[in-house]
A and B are shown apart, each in its own frame.
Chain A
Amino acid sequence: MVAAIRVPKTKRARRELLKHAPKLVETGKKTLILHGTKTSAVLNSVLSDIYHLKRDNAVKYTKKNDNIRPFENGGESSLEFFSLKTDCSLIVYGSHSKKRPNNLILGRTYDHHIYDLVEVGVENYKSMESYVYDKKLAPKLGSKPFFAFIGEHFESSEELKHLKEVLLDLFRGEVIDNLNLAGVDRIYVCTAISPTTVYMMHCALRLKRSGTPIPRMELVEVGPSMDLVVRRHRLPVESLKKEAMKTAEHAKKMKNVTKDPVQGKLGKVYMPDQQVGKLTLSNDIKGLKRERREAKKNKEHSKKQKVNPE
């Protein structure tokens, strides 16, 4: 059964695999960007812009991909394989067809299986190159973005509620404890302009002096901007969602410890059954009387001596 086990042959491959291991506190999710057999010029540009925005933590495939139909049964298999191969859990898949022009599928995976999907159509797209602005303002790679969600549809419409979560997950980057205030330089603005449409734009933040410690914010649009029209969407399965929402606290949860407002921290202590029969006993048991104990010791000692001459 030796053949049943596969171990990396090089240390480098081993290290790489260890990086893929599930962690208690996760670092940022990686994004996989790919397209189907047919794409339009608009979609190509959208995909490369998204890749540009997420360059620090994304993988972009440039070849055509057959057989990817995430919403259909069996059409997600190669997507899941790519997710496993590249260790990406956010997926941006572009396709273009007569029925669904400029189609963008945003998906997430859990344990390399599809978790949820949102399909959006891209309209009124303006690429990053078309914006002219002072390049000093350009947001730095990997900076933590701000988010602004505007509009009541994000709460009332089921699809947009879902899209909001997916967009936030896609662009927010790593969850961090400490933030350098000097590195605040970008914001994603998402406006719900109808129950199915979100107007999304990307702006640079300019911190202006205001005479107080809190600077005055100024937005400069740096692109891209587009309308996302929700087409199909698939919410996560409830049981899977519950599983995926577990945090490190669930793992570390202390058993038998309670907090009391009066007494403070309280603990319950359970003593396991004392199995006297299985105890490993030494020669000098305190339970015996000293004379007997010594007699026993002497007896054993003499035994050993008897054995040795033989």
Chain B
Amino acid sequence: MAEGAAATPAASSCEVDLGNLMAYDPSHHVATAAASREELRQECLQKATELAQAVANSLFALPPSEDRDGPIVHLPPPTIRLPREKHLPKPKPPTKWELFAKAKGITKRKKNKREWDEQTQSWKRTYGYDRVNDDKDVPIIDAKATDEPGVDPFAQRRQEKKKRVEKQEKNRLENLKKAAKVGALPSHIQLAARALPITGTKADLPKKSRKEDLENVAGMASSATASGGKFDEKLPGEKPPKHPGKHRKFLPVAEGKGMGNLEKQQNDKILNSLLARNSDEQLDVGKAITMYKVKKEKQRRKDKATFPKSDKLKPQKKSLKKSSKKKA
């Protein structure tokens, strides 16, 4: 008990982080210049013993639970927080089917893994190899009124199945791409196109220009003459530019809803503004500003003509002085 008590005053001056089993004494000053290596070592060991004792004091004070391997204590979380190694796992976005099922109120229900197969009179798995209603177990397919002559129903059946599988694979990839956009791809899957960009590597550099881009640029360059490239000789294999000329849009002439209604609306707007009661009082702000600017410009030119020399030397100051004089 005496030793435990002796250790407490040392413990008071240090911070103990029990989660990391760490003790830190910020007050202790080590005299380096005077001490030799051996003295320094002794001093450090002595101080460290105190600190270790301080950690042990709080550690062994925790209530232990007996185990076969020794007493086990529950540590508090560390007070010094250190950064994570990787980001927090991101939630997977719902698949298109999951969204649809939710909208429709469809809930998942459990299916039996095995079912009774009438064809072979045995229990079989519902999916995969040797499943219920497997292609190889169906010897006869009943003819229907809708059957076309000359079509093998067995081949058709196989083809349909193949199509369904392909469609499902396509859907799966779509969903994975969607997940990849959010960064919630399952960790065992990697999109090859999205190789991890490492700073300073090739992935970081701009992409190599494609043939298409080069063609576009060539087309633009060839049309960048006064005549719009009309009289230039075409190079072998050169294609005309993709989007020549302006992109003017005309509203549809025929009346109707939506776009067809747009022209009518535009004309209505103009007419309304013209026929409005106070149309003559309306102020076109843009026009007013230009008028004001033109007027000012004229005035400036006039002034310039009267004092040409002085204006050249100190144009700004002069104008300021003048304006102040005018005001006065």
Question: Which residues of A approach B to under 8 Å, CB–CB?
Answer: 1-8, 14, 17-18, 20-24, 26, 29, 73-77, 80-81, 84, 89, 108-115, 124, 144-152, 154-155, 164-165, 168-169, 172, 175-184, 187, 189, 191-194, 199, 201, 203, 205, 207, 210-219, 221, 225, 236, 241, 243-248, 250-251, 278, 280
Q: How far is the CA of A112 from the CA of B21 in the complex (A)?
A: 28
Interface flags, B97-124, vs A, CB<8A=1, else 0: 0000001110000000000000000000
Q: A178-B75, A191-B44 are in contact. Are A217 and B52 (CB under 8 A)?
A: yes
Q: A77-B200, A115-B83, A144-B21 are in contact. Are A219 and B57 (CB under 8 A)?
A: no
B294 at the interface (CB under 8 A from A): no
In the complex the two chains form, is A124's CB within 8 Å of B187's CB? no
Which of B44, B81, B201 has the largest number of chain A CB atoms within 10 A? B44
Q: Which of B29, B85, B103 contacts A278 (CB 8 A)?
A: B103
B9 at the interface (CB under 8 A from A): no
For B103, give the chain A residue with the smallest CB separation.
A278
In the complex the two chains form, is B40's CB within 8 Å of A77's CB? no
In the complex the two chains form, is B80's CB within 8 Å of A218's CB? no
Residues of the B chain whose Cβ atoms lie less than 8 Å from the Cβ of A29:
85
B19 at the interface (CB under 8 A from A): yes
Residues of the A chain whose Cβ atoms lie less than 8 Å from the Cβ of B26:
151-152, 154-155
Residues of the B chain whose Cβ atoms lie less than 8 Å from the Cβ of A214:
4, 56-57, 60-61
Residues of the B chain whose Cβ atoms lie less than 8 Å from the Cβ of A211:
1, 3
In the complex the two chains form, is A203's CB within 8 Å of B199's CB? no
In the complex the two chains form, is B71's CB within 8 Å of A168's CB? no
Residues of the A chain whose Cβ atoms lie less than 8 Å from the Cβ of B132:
none
Closest 8 pairs between A and B when the two form their complex, measured CB to CB:
A182-B70, A21-B187, A244-B83, A74-B200, A147-B22, A22-B86, A148-B51, A89-B85
B74 at the interface (CB under 8 A from A): yes
Q: How far is the CA of A181 from the CA of B74 in the complex (A)?
A: 10
Smallest CB separation, B106 vs chain A (Å): 9
Consensus secondary structure, chain A interface: mixed
In the complex the two chains form, is B60's CB within 8 Å of A213's CB? yes
In the complex the two chains form, is B84's CB within 8 Å of A26's CB? yes
Q: Give chain B's interface residue range (CB within 8 Å of chain A).
A: 35 or more
22 A-B pairs whose Cβ atoms sit less than 8 Å apart in the complex:
A5-B189, A5-B191, A7-B188, A18-B188, A74-B200, A75-B200, A80-B199, A146-B21, A146-B55, A148-B22, A148-B47, A149-B25, A152-B26, A152-B28, A179-B21, A179-B59, A189-B45, A207-B56, A212-B1, A216-B53, A217-B53, A248-B88
In the complex the two chains form, is A77's CB within 8 Å of B201's CB? yes
In the complex the two chains form, is B200's CB within 8 Å of A76's CB? yes
Q: A180-B67, A199-B40, A241-B83 are in contact. Are A80 and B198 (CB under 8 A)?
A: yes
In the complex the two chains form, is A1's CB within 8 Å of B48's CB? no
B173 at the interface (CB under 8 A from A): yes
Q: A115-B83, A180-B69, A219-B52 are in contact. Are A4 and B88 (CB under 8 A)?
A: no
In the complex the two chains form, is A182's CB within 8 Å of B71's CB? yes
Q: A221-B45, A251-B88 are in contact. Are A177 and B75 (CB under 8 A)?
A: yes
In the complex the two chains form, is A219's CB within 8 Å of B49's CB? yes
Residues of the B chain whose Cβ atoms lie less than 8 Å from the Cβ of A212:
1, 3-4
Residues of the A chain whose Cβ atoms lie less than 8 Å from the Cβ of B48:
148, 150, 187, 189, 191, 203, 219
Interface flags, B127-146, vs A, CB<8A=1, else 0: 00000000000000000000
